[in-house]
Amino acid sequence: MNWTQRLRQRKAKRRPQRQNEAMSKVTLIPRKPEGEHAIDVRAVNSGEARALYKKREQIYPKLAHGLYRNLKWAAMIVLLAIYYVTPWLRWDRGDGRPDQAVLIDFEGRRFYFFFIELWPQEVYYFAGLLIMGAFAIFLSSALFGRVWCGYACPQTVWTDLYIYVERLIEGDRNARMRLDKAPMSPAKAAKKVTKHAIWLLIAAGTGGAWVFYFADAPTLLVNLSAGQASASAYISVVILTFTTYALAGTMREQVCTFMCPWPRIQAGMIDKDALSVTYRAARGEPRGAHKKGESWEGRGDCIDCRQCVAVCPQGIDIRDGDQLECINCALCIDACDGIMEKVGRPKGLIAYDSYANQSRLAKGEAPQIRLVRSRTILYAVLFVTVALMLVWALAARQTLDLNVIRDRSPPFVQLADGSVRNDYALKLINMSDRPRRLVVEVSGAPGLRLQAPSLDSDGRLHAAATADAVTSLRVHVAAAGLTGAHDIAFTIRDLDSGEVASSSAAFVAGGER
């Protein structure tokens, strides 16, 4: 017996034992679902399917029909349209300036958003937007649970799109399952190849659209197709093609369950009055198969058909309660409502509902929806406050600014006539689209005088500030008879518009010698 045979034998010895383990797990699965609407499906996170390292179980979401499915279609169309169309919107900013409405110009260090143009040092506007985004998500979570996850998250939107393509080519849940079980055939190969090809095309389109936000879209499109765009453009396209294909095509619910921190954060956002997708257990239990004509007395409304599990893109069972895998897409509501209609029971066995209402339902009290609560008021007020602050900051935004950096080495220079000189680097920031003629003045201590080659007869310093740029100017300031440190101020004044910007600085003269 050589070593391979020995190994095979040893493996064969071990195998029956493993199979037994597996069998024992299988026996834990409760009875097969029965009844006319029942479907053979099991939640991927059910207690019976456990191992140290969990193999991903393929989920075959069934197409749902209903209000929330339609909402999701609408959200998908609107969001994808925004994503793909935005870079192609034009906005006239005059000669020699980009005419793209939304442009993040890293090379030119500018951010353009329709009529707004921001410089890198104004990044606090983005901080404000992020804070608004955070409060918006807090608020939406406190009101309606994980609506972001269910409708608007790119992972959800693109996964939805990919499943749509999959369904178009391979058919709905049962057809897809049959296809995967079937042996490889030309027809199966054709379907698989077509599906992955379309997925890759969408992925490339996604990555392709992304780079258009960072350069002039029409020019970049020509360059990209001619093979003349920058390496970073191609690398971005490739990376985003890969991530889109992998995350929306093959990883899907794994992203939400294992990669995304949001489900964990979410747990802290939801209180007992927040609406989220809920199985009304008090109404549904005890569940069980129901035959036409049978009485509904003494049993719950849930007929255990598992349609809610079949449509779930996360592959979970909402009847297990709130769980981190649940993205609150509400497709199970659509599925269940359809069934309830068919069996003649009221809709809403699964519905947007709150924890508080579950206990009320159990006690037979009337449900109560409390959208106005201290935390939703707080979130809304904070959101509006930050929004108003941003609007105010934008409205009051100046296009002329001055930064002054004092030379610290040496801190001051003694001159032959006994006076003391300090040196400063002035940054004349001209955020407007026209060049400016500026006058620089200094004040704040007696006897300060500017020293520069370009002083006019009144001792004023003239400087030209280039349009949409920072002009650097080195300035010497001398004073006689000063000791110690003095707070001084530099002022720049636009000779044409009268706009003024100033900046404080220090003048250091040292002590008595």
Partner 1 sequence: MAGERERDDITGTETTGHEWDGIKELDNPLPRWWLYIFYACIVASVIYWVLMPAWPLANSYTKGILDWSDRDNVAVEIQKLRGARAPMFARLAEASAADIAADPELQTFARAAGEAVFGDYCRTCHGAGGAGAPGYPVLADDVWIWGGSLSEIEHTLRVGVRADHPQTRFSQMPAFGRDGLLSPREVSDVTEYTISISAARTRLAPDAAAAGRGAAIYDAQCAICHGPSGAGDRSVGAPSLNDDLWLYGGSRDEIRRQIETGRAGVMPAWEARFDAGTLRALAYYVHEMGGGELDAAPAPTQSQAPPAAPE
Place of tokens 């972001």: 148
**Residue 399 to residue 84: CA distance in whole angstroms:** 32
Among 10, 65, 109, 437, binds partner 1 (CB under 8 A): 437
Size of the site for partner 1 (CB under 8 A): 41
When the beta carbons of 443 and 466 are compared against partner 1, the nearer one is 466
Token representation of residue 285: 């239990």
Among 160, 273, 353, 423, binds partner 1 (CB under 8 A): 423
User: Which one of residues 476, 491, 499, 500 is an interface residue with partner 1 (CB under 8 A)?
Assistant: 476
User: What is the rounded CA–CA span in Å between residue 37 and residue 433?
Assistant: 68
Q: Where does this chain touch partner 1 (CB under 8 A) — which range of 72-80, 197-205, 269-277, 411-419?
A: 411-419
Cα-based distances in Å from 86 to 76, 152, 281, 372, 391: 15, 17, 45, 35, 22
Does position 463 interact with partner 1 (CB under 8 A)? The reply is yes
The one segment of 31-39, 70-78, 173-181, 448-456 that binds partner 1 by CB under 8 A: 448-456
Q: What's the CA gap between 329 and 108, in Å, rounded?
A: 41
Q: Is 513 among the residues that bind partner 1 (CB under 8 A)?
A: yes
d(CA 286, CA 283): 8
462 binds partner 1 (CB under 8 A): yes
Residue from 93, 421, 449, 486 touching partner 1 (CB under 8 A): that is 421
Site for partner 1 in 38-57 (CB under 8 A): 45-48, 50-56
Q: Give the C-alpha separation, 325 to 313, whole Å.
A: 10
> Which of 8-16, 79-87, 132-140, 403-411 is the region at the interface with partner 1 (rule: CB under 8 A)?
403-411
CA dist., res. 249 & res. 271, Å (int): 33
Q: Which of 297/512 has CB closer to partner 1?
A: 512
Does position 231 bind partner 1 by CB under 8 A?
A: no
Q: Using the rule CB under 8 A, is 5 a contact of partner 1?
A: no
Residue 409 as a binder of partner 1 (CB under 8 A): the answer is yes
For partner 1, the closer CB: 170 or 423: 423
Minimal distance in Å, beta carbon 211 to partner 1? 27
**Please, which residues have CB within 8 angstroms of residue 470's CB and are 6 or more apart in sequence?**
427, 428, 429, 430
Gap between the Cα atoms of 501 and 493, Å rounded: 7
Write each residue from 234 to 273 as x if it is in contact with partner 1 (CB under 8 A), else as -, in one continuous string. -----------------x--x--xx---------------
Stretch that binds partner 1, among 145-153, 382-390, 406-414, 442-450 (CB under 8 A): 406-414
| DSSP labels, 280-339 | -HHHHPSP----TT---TTS-S-----HHHHH-TT---GGG-S-TT-----HHHHHHHHH
Give SS3 for 249: helix
**Of 314-353, which residues contact partner 1 (CB under 8 A)?**
320-321
Please state the three-class secondary structure of 95-135 as a single string. CCCCCECEEEECCCCEEEECCEEECHHHCHHHHHHHHHHHH
225 or 472: CB nearest partner 1: 472
Residue 244 tokens, joined: 């889109």
Q: Which is nearer to partner 1, 143 or 404 (CB)?
A: 404
Q: CA–CA distance from 82 to each of 87, 89, 152, 499 (Å)?
A: 9, 10, 12, 38
The binder of partner 1 chosen from 227, 344, 418, 446 (CB under 8 A) = 418
Q: CA angle at residue 179 from 195 to 151, to 5 degrees? A: 55
Binding site for partner 1 (CB under 8 A): 45-48, 50-56, 251, 254, 257-258, 320-321, 407, 409-410, 413-418, 421, 423, 435, 437, 451, 453-454, 456, 462-464, 466, 474, 476, 513
